[in-house]
Chains A and B, each alone.
Chain A
Amino acid sequence: MAVNDPCLILLRKIQQMEFVALELNLYLDIHPDDCKALEQYNCTHKELCELKRQYEQQYGPLLNYGYGMNTGNNWRWAEQPWPWEM
């Protein structure tokens, strides 16, 4: 897949926002009373949900086991290339 492929561009955005959420998550694990970090975490969650919704609608599920939606008439989980093949 080319670097400027719209699918990859959206995926990069998701990776960036997920990284922000993960960093805040690890920080909050040991600083659970930091209100500012908590607020940032919740903001990131909202943005991430929207990005993932967009991605899954266009390119198929990011998560399986019922945590992602499968749009279209066929099972799309195995349709997109696997991460180590992209």
Chain B
Amino acid sequence: MRTDLYQGHDYYLMDEWLTEEHKLIRDTARAWIKKEVSPIIEEAFEQGKFPKHLIKGLAEIGGFGPYIPEQYGGAGLDQISYGLLMQELERCDSGLRSTSSVQSSLVMYPIWKYGTEEQRMKYLPKLAAGEFVGCFGLTEPDHGSNPGGMITNFKDMGDHYLLNGAKMWISNAPFADIAVVWAKDETGRIHGLVVERGMEGFTTPTMTGKWSLRASDTGELIFDNVKVPKENLLPGRSGLGAPLSCLDSARYGIAWGAIGAALDCYDVALRYAKERQQFGRPIAAFQLQQKKLAEMITEITKAQLLTYRLGQLRNDGRATSAQISMAKRNNVDMAIHIAREARQILGGMGIINEYPIMRHMMNLESVITYEGTHDIHLLITGMDITGENAFS
């Protein structure tokens, strides 16, 4: 890959709404990425492997649980800081951001919110420091958009729980030390359990053949009569609302992250269009290319405004799930369109891995599907405004 020349774009001067610390956090993440990740990301993507040596650095820039309180090893930051970190990570690669947002929002968040004090102290500091990597098991082979139909279940055996079932499409699964697994008890109610690597009957086969998010490892979680200690149940909340609240946090991060991917595509395309000459002029001088670029920055700016406001609402604890759905849906769709247009601006060069655009485009195909598909988020908005459930 070429030298990473990325520069942020802030058409509406929204940086003025950020604190100095926000900017320092963002610039630090950007500097770390340019130094440690940009030079190797294409290769990791090609090999289809998450570059594990980055975990320590990800922890150091605050990539694991930045909003988790300091007493548990987090940085105690606000939601805008979390968003900015996700934006910088996904600016580089959606897979890198996925590793970070799964750990933060889908593993640390439920342990922090629904775990006991012992569970928090046992897991959170290690997860924050990157000594442990976690994954989140909700989706099953036959239950994706409809996780409430899950069949993974556990039985109370007196001194432990006996867990059976299988999860699929689980980010970080192949190398995770712990998994937050959602399973039904004997009455059919959903609970979260922390399953640790090494427990008998627990395996995590890797899923191969992905054309998307290749720099993030995805796998299955298979539970074959796994004995889970009773103290590993997250007691604070049960029912489908518990995993969905984690998804709110992760989706919020994705809304920021998608802007990062879009910014990178726009940044590359803008620079290329100014430099590339055809018919004796830079291609940026042709109206058709200007239309693409102008529409890109317009859409990015709208998404930035939407997402910043969502961040304020989340800081105040007022953002609704439906508001988060709207931002996730809008921003990922915006990014995927920008990736496609940006690729065209680069002509043939757009398909070469010297530039990040095809990688972003392929990655975004996962991002538009996971954490609630594009359709499902529309149904959430639809239900929110009409009061009618169109899911089933």
Query: A and B bound?
Result: no
